[in-house]
Amino acid sequence: MMVINIRDGMFVGINPILNCNLNCEYCFLHSEDSKKRISEQKNADYHSAHEWYEGLVWLNDNVNTIINLDIFGGEPLLYEDIGELINAIPLEVHIGLDTNSIKYERLSEIHKDRRTHMHLLISVHLDGNGNIPRRYHAAAEKVKELGFNNVTVNFVAYPKQIRKADIVRTFATEYGFAYHLEPYINYNPVNKGIGKFDSVDDEKYAWDRFTEADKSGLIKLKKRKYPIKCFIGKSYLLVMENGNIFNCWGKMMAGEKPIGNIFRKEISEIPDEIDCNVFCVCSQNWRDGFS
Ligand code: SF4
Ligand code: SF4
């Protein structure tokens, strides 16, 4: 695996759309804090692929070189210009697309050369009986037909469904996709972070299945003494659907003020270290995982 120095370039997460066609109980969109912000942001203008592209070029030139662009939401395949946006990004930038795959037909709008370069993350959400809905099989067939060759099936280690993790892994293996069990984090900072499992056995079941990188990230998060100094600085930025820029997910979830706006092309000076008092989903953990 290529080793990327944390200062060598920037990871940017963008949410071109906050709407979703699912309603997952654990989603960050449902925390009280998120609901408030989402309702405030609901009327934000729609921003075209061209506007996003211009904004990203500006970030790249004025903050740091973008080496990784993660596109999520909401559900990014509901974003009208998703194909146009992805096709416009140079191949040197590693793109990740995180989708629930309901609108999988739209993946055909992504050019073939992009499909073979990007990372497609299909987040599986089980039905009410805890089974894998049939549409995921249809989506998996389509993804293979279209030639995506870097695909990961992601399953959130949500306490109520944790015992289904192996079913999802079997599904991923069946199609030759990688599998990732995403540590469930309670996305509401007020609840102080990592989800509580229903029993000690369930918790052990989950921890036995997390990757080493995830385990060390979670342990680090639990052991932190706050406030801490964070180096995330110019190495990670999150951009919401209205263009507001945050240092990271944690800062956004904690309801802190944006540090700029990608469409207005304004950003405040980013110090090398920032103070953090957020015990919540932490972009540093994910950014760390690549170094
Ligand atoms: S599919 Fe993803 S964005 Fe949509 S509600 Fe579920 S977790 Fe949230
Ligand atoms: S939440 Fe994580 S990434 Fe964000 S400032 Fe705090 S330590 Fe850094």
pLDDT tens string 55-66: 999 999 999 999
* Atom number, ligand 2, closest to the C-alpha of residue 287: 3
- Residue with the bigger pLDDT between 169 and 186: it is 169
- Interval 166-180 mean pLDDT: 97
Minimal CA–CA distance to 280: which of 228, 212, 202, 245?
228
* Whole-number average pLDDT of the chain: 86
Query: Whole-model pTM?
Result: 0.90
- The pLDDT confidence band at residue 290, using thresholds 50, 70 and 90, is very low
Contact 4, 235 (CB under 8 A): no
Contact 264, 45 (CB under 8 A): no
For residue 110, the tally of other CB atoms under 10 A from its CB is: 21
Taking 70 as the threshold, does the pLDDT of residue 154 lie above it?
yes
Distance CA 229, CA 252 (A): 17
Q: How far is the CA of 285 from the centre of ligand 2 (A)?
A: 8
Beta bridge partners of 151: 120
Helix (H, G, I), strand (E, B) or coil at 135: helix
Minimal CA–CA distance to 184: which of 212, 214, 151?
214
Distance of CA 169 to the CA centre of its chain: 20
Taking 50 as the threshold, does the pLDDT of residue 1 lie above it?
no
* Angle at 145 (CA atoms; ends 141, 150), nearest 5 degrees: 85
Q: How far is the CA of 124 from the centre of ligand 1 (A)?
A: 10
Taking 60 as the threshold, does the pLDDT of residue 7 lie above it?
no
pLDDT single digits (tens) 223-261: 777 788 887 878 889 999 889 999 988 888 778 899 999
Residue closest via CA to ligand 1's atom 6 equals 24
Task: Please report the beta strands in 27-147, taking only residues with DSSP state E, as ranges in sequence order.
Answer: 66-71, 94-99, 119-123
- 53 phi/psi in degrees, rounded to 5: -60, -45
- The pLDDT confidence band at residue 41, using thresholds 50, 70 and 90, is low
- The pLDDT confidence band at residue 115, using thresholds 50, 70 and 90, is very high
Distance CA 180, CA 119 (A): 13
Residue closest via CA to ligand 1's atom 8 equals 27
Q: How far is the CA of 258 from the centre of ligand 1 (A)?
A: 23
Q: Which residues, 6+ apart, have CB-to-CB distance to 204 below 8 Å?
A: none
What is the CB < 6 Å shell around ligand 1?
20, 22-24, 27, 29, 73-75, 100, 123, 125
All structural domains of the chain: 10-288 (3.20.20)
Q: How far is the CA of 223 from the centre of ligand 2 (A)?
A: 14
For residue 194, the tally of other CB atoms under 10 A from its CB is: 17
Dihedral sign computed on CA atoms, order 126, 132, 135, 136: positive
